[in-house]
Structure 1
């Protein structure tokens, strides 16, 4: 082969197939609230290994859906590339199969809001070089995890500066047939007030004072799209700034693995707006 042509082919491959150098770790994070430890997946961007002393990285927390676990995002979506592209740490905690990421009023053993919203955040900040402020954290999730991200962010507005939901179950009252949901929310008849209080569509007003950057999307063929449209309409009526998108697709990994790319871009923009240029800030800044 002509040497010049061989060199051209090598350069073309380098530019069309970038080398991703992120690191994936599994860590065990203890929960004092639930008296046990749970595994979590952490993805560190390439820049993390070469960071200068004092450099810190923003964190995006990704919550799995019903029946899933801490391995779902890495197994089904190329999220490591997003860590490299936007210079962020990605954390995927285990939220239990049907926890709905709440502190259950009927099952004292299910304290997943406290675990994810407080204990996981504290562990990650203590063990990794993070920007340990509200403005340096974002949280999102899919389906049950979309509900969980919005619920946790609203209940803990000083912990997260940005929040997203992908195909989120934003009104659990429409999910009474989901296996196991009564076990954490309680019987809908006897615990109606709690169900109502946890419905994101009924809590839209809370976003007015939370000062959290917000992005929501759902597939047009998703059974949850109507409740997401209702939430969007209420946010518009209340004048709450947010991004909202509907794209072709349903309640599938094909949709979620595409949607997460837009959401991490949204979070990266939020981080930059708060002064985290290129996703990194020194501890002294």
Structure 2
């Protein structure tokens, strides 16, 4: 386990000893505009425990988007969970885990707060969860409708959110101090981002991610998210995200599929978690969704093995041996908490931290 003091990191990297803007005792940090982001609402604590705060930004990379109830198109909520001792730790710098939510979800929900806070209790780790829209798919869209264009989610997250967080919080702003993870659609996004920009992340984790865009089932799932009102309003054309999903027009689908393009992950820590859906007659939609997500993880594992890339693959089946209350379904909080517990332990064993 590699440990560096914050002052040593700051000295080596030529960084300031604290975040860019000071804040009053007991208040969350105050953020400054930058890196293409305009702060619409400054950080505010979500509860009296003062570990998790939310703030809102705007960006020209995604100036509007399909909204879920309670969202304002173009306003992007970002959730940050700090270590318990962040306010009292002086100049200490911390590693950051970026976590990408699934579909149709948003970062500022009570269950996501549990996912960020419970596995990181007592852990020197910052967690950042950006808005990814109900159907953003963590990519720069090929054919966004004119009313929403552009939909450059990848540019927003990798070129703007990451340097913005590094400028405003006491992070370890290097590959060895940064990880990315995600659930379901977010698991796809985590692998997609880590493969596109391996210089940014020392570890990547997928929790029941849909990782194989060559799978016709996965393509149907993605196309369905463009058409379902429950994924956000307005709906979008079926070719908006990755282009037409059929041969010979499906080149982007093939090129952006994480399962078949694992080569850039060589030298990156890799972890995948999946169940098999358990009893498919109980909660059948979530059971089948998890079962088919597992199939895309198996394809990805096979490509990692063929490439000789070390990885962790946790296939917990019906969940009975993984966590109390986990029955192997998709988007099941007890399963995801156990996934995150295990993943955080991998991060603390491998990332640079205090």
With normalisation by structure 2, the TM-score equals 0.67
Question: Does residue 172 in structure 1 map to residue 213 in structure 2?
Answer: yes
- 1:238 — aligned with what? 307
Gapped regions of structure 1 (runs ≥ 5): 1-19, 281-285
- 1:94 — aligned with what? 131
- The answer on whether the counterparts of 2:143 and 2:242 sit within 8 Å (CA) in structure 1 is yes
Question: Does residue 267 in structure 1 map to residue 347 in structure 2?
Answer: yes
Cα 1:192–1:167, aligned 2, differ >3 Å: closer, same or farther?
same
CA displacement at 1:39 relative to structure 2: 0.8
1:251-262 aligned at under 5 Å gives the runs: 251-254=330-333, 255-262=335-342
Cα distance in 2 between the residues matched to 1:215 and 1:139:
11
Question: Does residue 66 in structure 1 map to residue 97 in structure 2?
Answer: no
Cα distance in 2 between the residues matched to 1:253 and 1:177:
22
- 1:224 — aligned with what? 293
The correspondence for 2:82, drawn from 44, 53, 59, is 44
Cα distance in 2 between the residues matched to 1:57 and 1:270:
13
- 1:188 — aligned with what? 245
- 2:270 — aligned with what? 214
Cα distance in 2 between the residues matched to 1:92 and 1:31:
16
Cα distance in 1 between the residues matched to 2:275 and 2:155:
30
Gapped regions of structure 2 (runs ≥ 5): 1-47, 64-73, 227-237, 278-289, 320-327
- The answer on whether the counterparts of 1:21 and 1:84 sit within 8 Å (CA) in structure 2 is no
Cα distance in 2 between the residues matched to 1:73 and 1:241:
34
- The answer on whether the counterparts of 2:207 and 2:336 sit within 8 Å (CA) in structure 1 is yes
- 1:29 — aligned with what? 57
Question: Does residue 152 in structure 1 map to residue 231 in structure 2?
Answer: no
Note the aligned Cα RMSD (angstroms).
Answer: 2.0
- The answer on whether the counterparts of 1:42 and 1:89 sit within 8 Å (CA) in structure 2 is yes
Greater fraction helix: 1
CA displacement at 1:78 relative to structure 2: 4.2
Cα distance in 2 between the residues matched to 1:93 and 1:73:
15
Moved more, 40-49 or 170-179: 170-179
Total equivalences in the alignment: 252
